[in-house]
A and B are shown apart, each in its own frame.
Chain A
Amino acid sequence: MYTASELKKGLRIKIDNDPYVLTEFNFVKPGKGQALYRCKLKNMLNGNQFERTFRSVDVFEPADLHEKKMQYLYKEEGKYCFMDNETYEQIYLTEDQMDDAKNFLIDNIEAEILLFEDRPIGISLPNFVDLVVTEAEPWAKGDTVSGATKPVKLQTGYTILVPTFINEGEKIRVDTRTGEYLTRVKG
Protein backbone atom coordinates (compact mmCIF):
# COMPACT_ATOMS: atom_id res chain seq x y z
CA MET A 1 0.00 0.00 0.00
CA TYR A 2 1.08 3.58 -0.62
CA THR A 3 0.33 6.48 1.72
CA ALA A 4 -0.55 9.89 0.29
CA SER A 5 2.93 11.22 1.08
CA GLU A 6 4.40 8.55 -1.21
CA LEU A 7 2.35 9.67 -4.21
CA LYS A 8 4.28 11.10 -7.14
CA LYS A 9 3.79 11.83 -10.80
CA GLY A 10 3.74 8.67 -12.90
CA LEU A 11 2.75 6.40 -10.00
CA ARG A 12 0.11 3.81 -10.89
CA ILE A 13 -2.57 3.04 -8.34
CA LYS A 14 -5.80 1.06 -8.23
CA ILE A 15 -9.10 2.83 -7.52
CA ASP A 16 -12.49 1.08 -7.73
CA ASN A 17 -10.76 -1.85 -9.46
CA ASP A 18 -9.34 0.27 -12.29
CA PRO A 19 -5.68 1.17 -12.79
CA TYR A 20 -4.91 4.90 -12.72
CA VAL A 21 -1.74 6.82 -13.45
CA LEU A 22 -0.99 10.09 -11.62
CA THR A 23 -0.50 12.72 -14.33
CA GLU A 24 -0.10 15.63 -11.91
CA PHE A 25 0.79 15.85 -8.24
CA ASN A 26 0.92 18.85 -5.89
CA PHE A 27 1.56 19.07 -2.16
CA VAL A 28 -0.42 21.90 -0.53
CA LYS A 29 -0.97 22.89 3.08
CA PRO A 30 -2.96 25.92 4.20
CA GLY A 31 -1.55 27.75 7.24
CA LYS A 32 -2.11 25.67 10.40
CA GLY A 33 -4.18 23.32 8.26
CA GLN A 34 -3.54 19.76 7.22
CA ALA A 35 -1.32 18.48 4.42
CA LEU A 36 -3.29 17.88 1.22
CA TYR A 37 -2.22 16.13 -1.95
CA ARG A 38 -3.91 17.48 -5.08
CA CYS A 39 -3.73 14.98 -7.89
CA LYS A 40 -4.81 14.52 -11.49
CA LEU A 41 -5.48 10.91 -12.33
CA LYS A 42 -5.97 9.17 -15.65
CA ASN A 43 -7.83 5.91 -15.98
CA MET A 44 -5.48 3.57 -17.84
CA LEU A 45 -8.35 1.55 -19.29
CA ASN A 46 -10.55 4.29 -20.77
CA GLY A 47 -8.40 7.41 -20.60
CA ASN A 48 -10.90 9.34 -18.45
CA GLN A 49 -9.24 12.00 -16.32
CA PHE A 50 -10.26 13.53 -13.03
CA GLU A 51 -8.87 15.61 -10.19
CA ARG A 52 -8.94 14.61 -6.57
CA THR A 53 -7.50 15.89 -3.31
CA PHE A 54 -6.21 13.34 -0.82
CA ARG A 55 -5.27 13.61 2.86
CA SER A 56 -2.19 12.18 4.50
CA VAL A 57 -4.28 9.47 6.15
CA ASP A 58 -5.45 8.11 2.76
CA VAL A 59 -3.89 4.89 1.53
CA PHE A 60 -3.70 3.46 -1.98
CA GLU A 61 -3.36 0.04 -3.50
CA PRO A 62 -0.68 -0.26 -6.18
CA ALA A 63 -2.13 -1.24 -9.55
CA ASP A 64 -1.12 -4.78 -10.47
CA LEU A 65 0.65 -3.94 -13.72
CA HIS A 66 3.48 -5.66 -15.49
CA GLU A 67 5.05 -5.73 -18.92
CA LYS A 68 5.73 -8.66 -21.19
CA LYS A 69 7.79 -8.79 -24.37
CA MET A 70 5.65 -9.88 -27.33
CA GLN A 71 6.00 -9.95 -31.09
CA TYR A 72 3.62 -8.19 -33.46
CA LEU A 73 1.97 -10.61 -35.88
CA TYR A 74 -0.83 -8.94 -37.85
CA LYS A 75 -3.80 -6.59 -37.84
CA GLU A 76 -7.32 -7.90 -38.37
CA GLU A 77 -10.65 -6.07 -38.15
CA GLY A 78 -9.15 -3.16 -36.22
CA LYS A 79 -7.39 -5.41 -33.74
CA TYR A 80 -3.66 -5.87 -33.38
CA CYS A 81 -2.40 -9.34 -32.63
CA PHE A 82 0.76 -10.03 -30.59
CA MET A 83 2.41 -13.31 -29.59
CA ASP A 84 4.56 -14.39 -26.67
CA ASN A 85 7.46 -16.19 -28.40
CA GLU A 86 8.02 -18.56 -25.49
CA THR A 87 4.48 -19.68 -24.68
CA TYR A 88 2.93 -18.92 -28.13
CA GLU A 89 0.10 -17.22 -26.26
CA GLN A 90 -1.62 -14.56 -28.41
CA ILE A 91 -3.30 -11.34 -27.29
CA TYR A 92 -5.15 -8.52 -29.05
CA LEU A 93 -5.06 -4.74 -28.59
CA THR A 94 -7.64 -2.28 -29.92
CA GLU A 95 -6.84 0.87 -31.95
CA ASP A 96 -7.40 2.97 -28.81
CA GLN A 97 -5.09 0.85 -26.72
CA MET A 98 -2.43 1.07 -29.42
CA ASP A 99 -2.56 4.87 -29.30
CA ASP A 100 0.40 6.39 -31.22
CA ALA A 101 2.22 3.06 -31.33
CA LYS A 102 0.29 2.04 -34.44
CA ASN A 103 2.18 4.71 -36.40
CA PHE A 104 5.44 2.86 -35.95
CA LEU A 105 4.38 -0.77 -36.02
CA ILE A 106 6.20 -3.07 -38.45
CA ASP A 107 5.84 -6.81 -38.91
CA ASN A 108 7.59 -8.95 -36.31
CA ILE A 109 8.65 -5.97 -34.15
CA GLU A 110 9.07 -6.80 -30.47
CA ALA A 111 7.18 -4.55 -28.07
CA GLU A 112 6.41 -4.41 -24.36
CA ILE A 113 2.76 -5.21 -23.77
CA LEU A 114 1.36 -3.66 -20.59
CA LEU A 115 -0.83 -6.05 -18.60
CA PHE A 116 -3.24 -5.14 -15.81
CA GLU A 117 -4.07 -8.21 -13.75
CA ASP A 118 -3.01 -10.23 -16.82
CA ARG A 119 -5.33 -8.30 -19.17
CA PRO A 120 -3.50 -6.48 -22.02
CA ILE A 121 -4.21 -2.73 -21.81
CA GLY A 122 -1.39 -0.95 -23.60
CA ILE A 123 1.90 -1.11 -25.44
CA SER A 124 5.27 0.54 -25.39
CA LEU A 125 7.51 0.30 -28.42
CA PRO A 126 11.29 0.53 -28.41
CA ASN A 127 12.26 4.22 -28.14
CA PHE A 128 13.70 4.14 -31.66
CA VAL A 129 12.51 2.26 -34.73
CA ASP A 130 13.88 2.26 -38.26
CA LEU A 131 11.24 2.72 -40.96
CA VAL A 132 11.32 2.89 -44.78
CA VAL A 133 10.13 6.02 -46.61
CA THR A 134 7.56 4.87 -49.15
CA GLU A 135 6.43 8.18 -50.63
CA ALA A 136 8.49 11.35 -50.95
CA GLU A 137 8.87 14.29 -53.28
CA PRO A 138 12.24 13.93 -54.99
CA TRP A 139 15.07 16.02 -53.62
CA ALA A 140 15.60 19.10 -55.75
CA LYS A 141 19.36 19.19 -56.04
CA GLY A 142 20.76 22.46 -54.92
CA ASP A 143 18.09 22.83 -52.25
CA THR A 144 20.52 22.85 -49.38
CA VAL A 145 18.85 25.23 -46.98
CA SER A 146 19.82 23.67 -43.66
CA GLY A 147 16.89 22.96 -41.40
CA ALA A 148 14.36 22.81 -44.24
CA THR A 149 11.93 19.90 -44.00
CA LYS A 150 9.29 18.16 -46.11
CA PRO A 151 6.53 15.67 -45.28
CA VAL A 152 7.03 12.05 -46.37
CA LYS A 153 5.00 8.89 -45.92
CA LEU A 154 6.49 5.89 -44.08
CA GLN A 155 5.83 2.18 -44.64
CA THR A 156 3.30 2.26 -41.79
CA GLY A 157 1.30 5.01 -43.50
CA TYR A 158 2.47 7.61 -40.97
CA THR A 159 3.39 11.03 -42.33
CA ILE A 160 6.47 12.65 -40.82
CA LEU A 161 8.63 15.72 -41.42
CA VAL A 162 12.16 14.90 -42.59
CA PRO A 163 15.08 16.87 -44.05
CA THR A 164 14.62 17.63 -47.76
CA PHE A 165 17.49 15.32 -48.84
CA ILE A 166 15.66 12.14 -47.78
CA ASN A 167 14.44 10.14 -50.79
CA GLU A 168 11.87 7.42 -51.41
CA GLY A 169 13.19 3.99 -50.43
CA GLU A 170 15.57 5.31 -47.79
CA LYS A 171 15.40 4.20 -44.18
CA ILE A 172 15.11 6.66 -41.30
CA ARG A 173 15.19 6.36 -37.50
CA VAL A 174 12.14 7.69 -35.64
CA ASP A 175 11.76 8.49 -31.93
CA THR A 176 8.52 6.71 -31.01
CA ARG A 177 8.01 8.90 -27.89
CA THR A 178 7.87 12.16 -29.82
CA GLY A 179 6.98 10.81 -33.28
CA GLU A 180 9.84 12.83 -34.73
CA TYR A 181 12.63 12.18 -37.23
CA LEU A 182 15.96 11.44 -35.63
CA THR A 183 18.47 10.49 -38.32
CA ARG A 184 18.98 8.84 -41.70
CA VAL A 185 19.93 5.15 -41.50
CA LYS A 186 22.51 3.94 -44.00
CA GLY A 187 21.89 0.62 -45.55
Chain B
Amino acid sequence: MDKSIADDRFILARKTEALHVRARLIQSIRRYFINKKFLEVETPLCIPAPAPEEHIEALRCGDWFLQTSPEICMKRLLAAGYPQIFQICKCFRAGERGRLHLSEFTMLEWYVAGFDYRLLMKQCEEMIIAAARDLGLADRITYQAREINLACPWEAIPVEEAFKKYSPVTMTEALNRDNFDEILVEYIEPNLGINRPAFLHDYPAKMASLARLKEGNNSVAERFELYIGGVELANGFSELTDAPEQRRRFMEAQKMRAQKNYAAYPLPEKFLSALDNLPASAGIALGIDRLAMIFTNAAGIDDVVAFPPEIL
Protein backbone atom coordinates (compact mmCIF):
# COMPACT_ATOMS: atom_id res chain seq x y z
CA MET B 1 0.00 0.00 0.00
CA ASP B 2 1.19 3.50 -0.84
CA LYS B 3 2.58 5.19 2.29
CA SER B 4 0.50 8.39 1.96
CA ILE B 5 -2.74 6.37 1.66
CA ALA B 6 -1.70 4.37 4.71
CA ASP B 7 -1.11 7.63 6.55
CA ASP B 8 -4.53 9.07 5.57
CA ARG B 9 -6.23 5.86 6.66
CA PHE B 10 -4.38 5.94 9.96
CA ILE B 11 -5.27 9.59 10.64
CA LEU B 12 -8.93 9.19 9.58
CA ALA B 13 -9.54 5.89 11.36
CA ARG B 14 -10.12 7.60 14.70
CA LYS B 15 -12.40 10.23 13.09
CA THR B 16 -14.78 7.83 11.36
CA GLU B 17 -17.52 8.14 13.96
CA ALA B 18 -17.20 11.92 14.21
CA LEU B 19 -17.43 12.30 10.44
CA HIS B 20 -20.61 10.23 10.39
CA VAL B 21 -22.19 12.24 13.23
CA ARG B 22 -21.21 15.46 11.48
CA ALA B 23 -22.89 14.36 8.24
CA ARG B 24 -26.07 13.30 10.04
CA LEU B 25 -26.08 16.56 12.00
CA ILE B 26 -26.04 18.61 8.79
CA GLN B 27 -28.82 16.46 7.31
CA SER B 28 -30.89 16.92 10.47
CA ILE B 29 -30.44 20.70 10.47
CA ARG B 30 -31.58 20.84 6.82
CA ARG B 31 -34.65 18.79 7.65
CA TYR B 32 -35.54 21.09 10.55
CA PHE B 33 -35.51 24.23 8.41
CA ILE B 34 -37.16 22.65 5.39
CA ASN B 35 -40.02 21.44 7.64
CA LYS B 36 -40.39 25.01 8.91
CA LYS B 37 -40.76 26.20 5.31
CA PHE B 38 -37.42 28.00 5.23
CA LEU B 39 -35.81 28.52 1.83
CA GLU B 40 -32.29 27.10 1.60
CA VAL B 41 -30.09 29.59 -0.25
CA GLU B 42 -26.57 29.65 -1.63
CA THR B 43 -24.83 33.02 -1.87
CA PRO B 44 -21.37 33.67 -3.37
CA LEU B 45 -18.30 32.85 -1.27
CA CYS B 46 -16.23 35.42 -3.12
CA ILE B 47 -17.51 38.97 -2.59
CA PRO B 48 -16.25 42.49 -3.35
CA ALA B 49 -16.93 44.04 0.08
CA PRO B 50 -17.16 42.18 3.38
CA ALA B 51 -18.75 43.96 6.35
CA PRO B 52 -15.92 45.94 7.95
CA GLU B 53 -15.53 44.60 11.49
CA GLU B 54 -12.76 45.63 13.83
CA HIS B 55 -11.52 42.13 14.67
CA ILE B 56 -12.38 39.98 11.66
CA GLU B 57 -9.89 39.68 8.79
CA ALA B 58 -11.03 38.45 5.37
CA LEU B 59 -8.82 36.41 3.05
CA ARG B 60 -8.18 37.93 -0.35
CA CYS B 61 -9.61 36.21 -3.42
CA GLY B 62 -8.25 37.93 -6.50
CA ASP B 63 -9.39 41.56 -6.28
CA TRP B 64 -12.24 40.49 -4.00
CA PHE B 65 -12.51 38.69 -0.65
CA LEU B 66 -13.68 35.34 0.64
CA GLN B 67 -16.72 35.86 2.83
CA THR B 68 -16.20 35.92 6.60
CA SER B 69 -19.93 35.16 6.91
CA PRO B 70 -22.83 35.11 4.41
CA GLU B 71 -24.51 37.99 6.26
CA ILE B 72 -24.28 40.68 3.57
CA CYS B 73 -25.90 38.67 0.78
CA MET B 74 -28.46 36.94 3.00
CA LYS B 75 -29.75 40.25 4.33
CA ARG B 76 -30.12 41.50 0.75
CA LEU B 77 -32.33 38.46 0.13
CA LEU B 78 -34.28 39.20 3.30
CA ALA B 79 -34.78 42.82 2.20
CA ALA B 80 -35.88 41.60 -1.25
CA GLY B 81 -38.76 39.66 0.24
CA TYR B 82 -37.49 36.24 1.35
CA PRO B 83 -38.73 36.15 4.97
CA GLN B 84 -37.27 32.80 6.13
CA ILE B 85 -33.91 31.73 4.71
CA PHE B 86 -31.05 29.48 5.82
CA GLN B 87 -27.64 28.59 4.44
CA ILE B 88 -24.91 26.08 5.28
CA CYS B 89 -21.65 27.28 3.79
CA LYS B 90 -17.93 27.73 4.15
CA CYS B 91 -16.59 30.93 5.73
CA PHE B 92 -13.00 32.11 5.90
CA ARG B 93 -11.19 34.22 8.47
CA ALA B 94 -7.52 35.03 8.17
CA GLY B 95 -5.20 34.12 11.03
CA GLU B 96 -7.72 32.17 13.09
CA ARG B 97 -6.30 28.82 14.12
CA GLY B 98 -6.59 27.14 17.49
CA ARG B 99 -8.40 24.44 19.45
CA LEU B 100 -11.75 25.98 18.45
CA HIS B 101 -10.69 27.76 15.27
CA LEU B 102 -10.09 26.82 11.66
CA SER B 103 -9.39 29.54 9.11
CA GLU B 104 -11.89 27.76 6.83
CA PHE B 105 -14.95 26.55 8.71
CA THR B 106 -18.59 25.63 8.17
CA MET B 107 -21.34 28.04 9.17
CA LEU B 108 -25.08 27.68 9.48
CA GLU B 109 -26.79 31.04 9.18
CA TRP B 110 -30.50 31.76 9.24
CA TYR B 111 -32.80 34.79 9.24
CA VAL B 112 -36.42 35.23 10.23
CA ALA B 113 -38.52 38.28 9.37
CA GLY B 114 -40.72 39.38 12.28
CA PHE B 115 -38.43 37.80 14.91
CA ASP B 116 -36.37 39.56 17.56
CA TYR B 117 -33.38 38.06 19.36
CA ARG B 118 -35.53 36.52 22.10
CA LEU B 119 -37.62 34.52 19.64
CA LEU B 120 -34.46 33.52 17.80
CA MET B 121 -32.89 32.16 21.01
CA LYS B 122 -35.97 30.01 21.45
CA GLN B 123 -35.77 28.72 17.89
CA CYS B 124 -32.06 28.02 18.21
CA GLU B 125 -32.77 25.96 21.35
CA GLU B 126 -35.53 24.02 19.60
CA MET B 127 -33.36 23.32 16.54
CA ILE B 128 -30.41 22.00 18.56
CA ILE B 129 -32.62 19.78 20.74
CA ALA B 130 -34.26 18.39 17.59
CA ALA B 131 -30.82 17.68 16.09
CA ALA B 132 -29.65 15.91 19.26
CA ARG B 133 -32.75 13.69 19.22
CA ASP B 134 -32.28 13.00 15.50
CA LEU B 135 -28.77 11.81 16.29
CA GLY B 136 -30.17 9.44 18.88
CA LEU B 137 -28.56 11.32 21.79
CA ALA B 138 -30.16 11.42 25.22
CA ASP B 139 -31.31 14.76 26.63
CA ARG B 140 -28.34 14.58 28.98
CA ILE B 141 -25.17 14.58 26.92
CA THR B 142 -21.64 14.28 28.21
CA TYR B 143 -19.16 16.84 27.01
CA GLN B 144 -15.56 16.66 28.25
CA ALA B 145 -16.52 14.72 31.41
CA ARG B 146 -19.41 17.04 32.26
CA GLU B 147 -23.08 16.24 31.98
CA ILE B 148 -25.12 18.83 30.11
CA ASN B 149 -28.91 18.71 30.22
CA LEU B 150 -30.30 19.87 26.89
CA ALA B 151 -33.95 19.40 27.87
CA CYS B 152 -34.35 21.76 30.83
CA PRO B 153 -34.92 25.45 30.03
CA TRP B 154 -31.71 27.01 28.74
CA GLU B 155 -30.05 29.73 30.77
CA ALA B 156 -30.15 33.33 29.56
CA ILE B 157 -27.74 35.64 31.34
CA PRO B 158 -27.03 39.28 30.47
CA VAL B 159 -23.35 40.10 29.92
CA GLU B 160 -23.37 42.58 32.80
CA GLU B 161 -24.71 39.94 35.19
CA ALA B 162 -22.18 37.34 33.99
CA PHE B 163 -19.39 39.77 34.88
CA LYS B 164 -20.89 40.23 38.37
CA LYS B 165 -21.21 36.50 38.83
CA TYR B 166 -17.92 35.20 37.45
CA SER B 167 -15.41 38.02 37.06
CA PRO B 168 -13.37 40.00 39.61
CA VAL B 169 -14.34 43.24 37.84
CA THR B 170 -17.62 44.64 36.59
CA MET B 171 -18.42 44.94 32.90
CA THR B 172 -18.02 48.72 33.04
CA GLU B 173 -14.61 48.41 34.71
CA ALA B 174 -13.50 45.88 32.11
CA LEU B 175 -14.61 48.20 29.30
CA ASN B 176 -12.84 51.16 30.88
CA ARG B 177 -9.65 49.16 31.37
CA ASP B 178 -9.90 47.81 27.84
CA ASN B 179 -9.71 44.18 28.94
CA PHE B 180 -13.27 43.03 28.26
CA ASP B 181 -12.13 40.23 25.92
CA GLU B 182 -9.44 38.97 28.28
CA ILE B 183 -11.88 38.81 31.23
CA LEU B 184 -14.52 37.16 29.06
CA VAL B 185 -12.14 34.43 27.92
CA GLU B 186 -10.47 33.83 31.26
CA TYR B 187 -13.26 34.15 33.83
CA ILE B 188 -16.62 33.99 32.12
CA GLU B 189 -16.61 31.66 29.11
CA PRO B 190 -15.35 28.62 31.08
CA ASN B 191 -18.47 28.92 33.30
CA LEU B 192 -21.04 29.19 30.54
CA GLY B 193 -23.24 26.30 29.46
CA ILE B 194 -21.77 23.89 31.98
CA ASN B 195 -24.88 22.09 33.27
CA ARG B 196 -27.23 23.33 30.58
CA PRO B 197 -26.72 25.50 27.48
CA ALA B 198 -26.50 29.25 28.14
CA PHE B 199 -27.24 32.36 26.12
CA LEU B 200 -25.02 35.30 27.03
CA HIS B 201 -26.94 38.38 25.88
CA ASP B 202 -27.20 42.16 25.84
CA TYR B 203 -23.66 43.01 24.75
CA PRO B 204 -22.17 46.50 25.10
CA ALA B 205 -23.49 48.54 22.16
CA LYS B 206 -20.11 48.97 20.45
CA MET B 207 -19.61 45.18 20.32
CA ALA B 208 -22.48 44.54 17.97
CA SER B 209 -21.84 46.46 14.78
CA LEU B 210 -24.84 45.05 12.87
CA ALA B 211 -27.32 44.67 15.74
CA ARG B 212 -30.20 46.79 16.93
CA LEU B 213 -29.77 48.60 20.24
CA LYS B 214 -32.03 47.50 23.03
CA GLU B 215 -35.27 49.36 23.40
CA GLY B 216 -35.14 51.41 26.60
CA ASN B 217 -31.40 50.82 27.14
CA ASN B 218 -29.16 52.24 24.43
CA SER B 219 -25.98 51.11 26.15
CA VAL B 220 -26.50 47.50 25.09
CA ALA B 221 -27.39 45.75 21.85
CA GLU B 222 -29.91 42.97 21.31
CA ARG B 223 -27.17 40.44 20.63
CA PHE B 224 -26.54 36.99 22.12
CA GLU B 225 -23.99 34.22 22.01
CA LEU B 226 -24.80 30.58 22.70
CA TYR B 227 -22.42 28.54 24.88
CA ILE B 228 -22.45 24.81 25.54
CA GLY B 229 -19.76 23.30 27.75
CA GLY B 230 -17.81 26.57 27.73
CA VAL B 231 -17.66 26.49 23.91
CA GLU B 232 -19.09 29.46 22.03
CA LEU B 233 -21.36 28.08 19.31
CA ALA B 234 -23.51 30.83 17.83
CA ASN B 235 -23.93 34.57 17.57
CA GLY B 236 -27.32 36.11 16.89
CA PHE B 237 -29.08 39.44 17.10
CA SER B 238 -32.04 41.60 16.25
CA GLU B 239 -31.02 43.19 12.95
CA LEU B 240 -30.20 46.86 12.66
CA THR B 241 -32.48 48.25 9.94
CA ASP B 242 -31.27 51.85 10.07
CA ALA B 243 -29.09 52.48 6.99
CA PRO B 244 -27.48 55.80 8.07
CA GLU B 245 -26.64 54.32 11.49
CA GLN B 246 -25.16 51.20 9.84
CA ARG B 247 -23.04 53.40 7.54
CA ARG B 248 -21.80 55.37 10.55
CA ARG B 249 -20.83 52.15 12.36
CA PHE B 250 -19.06 50.74 9.29
CA MET B 251 -17.06 53.94 8.89
CA GLU B 252 -16.12 53.80 12.56
CA ALA B 253 -14.96 50.20 12.10
CA GLN B 254 -12.99 51.22 8.99
CA LYS B 255 -11.27 53.91 11.04
CA MET B 256 -10.32 51.40 13.76
CA ARG B 257 -9.05 49.00 11.11
CA ALA B 258 -6.97 51.69 9.44
CA GLN B 259 -5.34 52.52 12.78
CA LYS B 260 -4.19 48.91 13.04
CA ASN B 261 -3.05 48.79 9.40
CA TYR B 262 -5.66 46.16 8.56
CA ALA B 263 -6.83 45.85 4.95
CA ALA B 264 -9.28 48.51 3.78
CA TYR B 265 -12.50 47.09 2.37
CA PRO B 266 -14.80 49.10 0.13
CA LEU B 267 -18.14 49.81 1.82
CA PRO B 268 -20.85 47.28 0.83
CA GLU B 269 -23.01 49.96 -0.78
CA LYS B 270 -25.72 47.66 -2.17
CA PHE B 271 -26.15 46.12 1.26
CA LEU B 272 -26.49 49.58 2.81
CA SER B 273 -29.13 50.53 0.25
CA ALA B 274 -30.99 47.30 0.92
CA LEU B 275 -31.19 48.05 4.67
CA ASP B 276 -33.95 50.59 3.99
CA ASN B 277 -36.17 47.69 2.98
CA LEU B 278 -34.99 45.22 5.62
CA PRO B 279 -37.99 44.11 7.68
CA ALA B 280 -37.75 43.90 11.47
CA SER B 281 -35.92 40.59 11.75
CA ALA B 282 -33.31 38.56 13.56
CA GLY B 283 -30.44 36.42 12.29
CA ILE B 284 -27.95 33.98 13.71
CA ALA B 285 -24.69 32.32 12.69
CA LEU B 286 -23.84 28.94 14.21
CA GLY B 287 -20.55 27.06 13.86
CA ILE B 288 -21.37 23.59 12.54
CA ASP B 289 -17.91 22.24 13.35
CA ARG B 290 -18.25 23.25 16.98
CA LEU B 291 -21.75 21.80 17.31
CA ALA B 292 -20.34 18.56 15.88
CA MET B 293 -17.64 18.76 18.58
CA ILE B 294 -20.26 18.99 21.31
CA PHE B 295 -22.25 16.05 19.92
CA THR B 296 -19.17 13.85 19.52
CA ASN B 297 -17.55 14.89 22.81
CA ALA B 298 -14.50 16.10 20.85
CA ALA B 299 -11.94 18.28 22.62
CA GLY B 300 -10.91 20.17 19.50
CA ILE B 301 -12.22 21.25 16.12
CA ASP B 302 -9.58 19.13 14.33
CA ASP B 303 -11.41 16.01 15.54
CA VAL B 304 -14.54 16.76 13.50
CA VAL B 305 -13.01 17.68 10.12
CA ALA B 306 -11.26 15.19 7.86
CA PHE B 307 -8.34 17.43 7.00
CA PRO B 308 -7.07 20.27 9.17
CA PRO B 309 -4.83 22.57 7.08
CA GLU B 310 -1.59 21.25 8.58
CA ILE B 311 -1.98 17.84 6.93
CA LEU B 312 -2.97 19.08 3.48
**B184 in contact with A32 (CB, 8 Å):** no
Is there a chain A Cβ closer than 8 Å to B90's Cβ? no
B225 located at the interface, meaning its Cβ lies under 8 Å from any Cβ of chain A in the complex: yes
Given the known interface contacts A32-B55, A34-B55, A53-B185, the answer about A27 and B96 at a Cβ–Cβ threshold of 8 Å is: yes
Binds A, one of B97-105, B112-120, B132-140: B97-105
**Mask: chain A, 13-45; 1 = CB below 8 Å from B; 0 = not:** 000000000000011111111111010000000
User: Is A57 an interface residue when CB atoms closer than 8 A count as contact?
Assistant: yes
Q: Render A40-74 as a binary contact track against B, CB cut-off 8 A, 1 for contact.
A: 00000000000001001100000000000000000
Q: Are B181 and A36 in contact, CB atoms less than 8 angstroms apart?
A: yes
The answer to whether A31 and B99 have CB atoms under 8 Å apart is no
Interface secondary structure of A, over-half rule: loop
Q: With A and B bound together, what is the CA distance between A38 and B190 in angstroms?
A: 14
Query: Contact mask B194-236 → A, CB, 8 Å, 1/0?
Result: 0000000001000111000000000000000100000010010
Pick from A28, A29, A32: contact of B208, CB below 8 A.
Answer: A32
* Interchain CB contact under 8 A, B184 and A5: no
Our pick among A5, A33, A38, A53 for the contact of B55 (Cβ within 8 Å) is A33
Who on chain A is nearest to B56 by CB? A32
CA distance A31 to B99 in the complex (A): 15
Q: List chain A residues, Cβ under 8 A from B185.
A: 28, 30, 33, 36, 38, 53
When each residue 87-117 of chain A gets 1 if its CB lies under 8 Å from chain B and 0 otherwise, what string results?
A: 0000000000000000000000000000000
Residues of B within 8 A of A38 (CB): 185-186
- Find residues 51-106 in chain B having any chain A CB closer than 8 Å to their own CB: 53-56, 95-101
* Bitwise interface map of B from 14 to 51 toward A, beta carbon under 8 Å scored 1, else 0: 00000000000000000000000000000000000000
Q: How far is the CA of A30 from the CA of B186 in the complex (A)?
A: 10
By beta carbon, the residue of chain B nearest A56 is B95
- Contact: B207 with A28, CB < 8 Å? no
Q: Is the CB of B55 within 8 A of A27?
A: no
| Inter-chain contacts of B181 with A (CB < 8 A) | 30, 33-34, 36
Cα distance, A26 to B101, chains bound together (Å): 11
Q: Are B96 and A29 in contact (CB under 8 A)?
A: yes
- Which A residue sits closest to B225, measured CB to CB? A31
Q: How far is the CA of A21 from the CA of B51 in the complex (A)?
A: 39
| B260 within 8 A of partner (CB) | yes
Closest beta carbon of chain A to B35's beta carbon, Å: 28
Q: Is B302 among interface residues, defined by CB-CB distance under 8 A?
A: no
Query: Does B303 reach chain A (CB closer than 8 Å)?
Result: no
Q: Is B7 part of the contact surface with A, judged by Cβ < 8 Å?
A: no
Shortest Cβ distance from residue B197 to the other chain A in the assembled complex, whole angstroms = 15
User: Given A38-B185, A53-B182, A57-B260, A32–B97 Cβ distance below 8 Å?
Assistant: no
Chain B residue with minimal CB distance to A54? B182
Taking a contact as CB atoms closer than 8 A, the residue among B97, B208, B232 that contacts A30 in the complex is: B232
Select B182's contact among A27, A36, A57, beta carbons within 8 Å: A36
B289 at the interface (CB under 8 A from A): no
B98 touches A28 (CB 8 A): yes
Whether the Cβ atoms of A35 and B260 lie closer than 8 Å is no
Q: Which chain A residues border B180 with CB–CB below 8 Å?
A: 33
CB neighbours of A36 from chain B (8 A): 181-182, 185
B100 touches A5 (CB 8 A): no
CB–CB A26/B232 < 8 A: no
Bound form: Cα–Cα A93–B225 in Å: 54
CA distance A57 to B95 in the complex (A): 13
* Assembly CA distance A29 to B93 (angstroms): 12
Q: How far apart are the CA atoms of A176 and B180 in the complex, in Å? A: 45
Verify A33–B207 contact, CB threshold 8 A.
Answer: yes
Contact of A26 among B96, B98, B182, B184 (CB under 8 A): B98
Of residues 265 through 288 on chain B, the ones whose CB sits less than 8 Å from some CB of chain A are none
Selected from B53, B101, B209, the residue in CB contact (under 8 A) with A29 is B101
Q: How far is the CA of A53 from the CA of B186 in the complex (A)?
A: 9
Q: Are A33 and B184 in contact (CB under 8 A)?
A: yes
19 contacts across the A-B interface (CB closer than 8 A): A27-B97, A27-B101, A28-B100, A28-B185, A29-B55, A29-B98, A30-B181, A30-B184, A32-B56, A32-B203, A32-B207, A32-B208, A33-B185, A33-B207, A34-B55, A35-B95, A35-B96, A36-B181, A36-B185
Instruction: Point out residues on B near A: beta carbons under 8 Å.
Output: 53-56, 95-101, 180-182, 184-186, 189, 203, 207-209, 225, 232, 235, 260
Q: A32-B56, A56-B95 are in contact. List 5 more A-B contacts (CB 8 A).
A: A29-B55, A30-B181, A35-B55, A36-B185, A38-B185
5 closest cross-chain pairs (CB), A and B: A27-B98, A33-B181, A34-B55, A31-B235, A31-B225
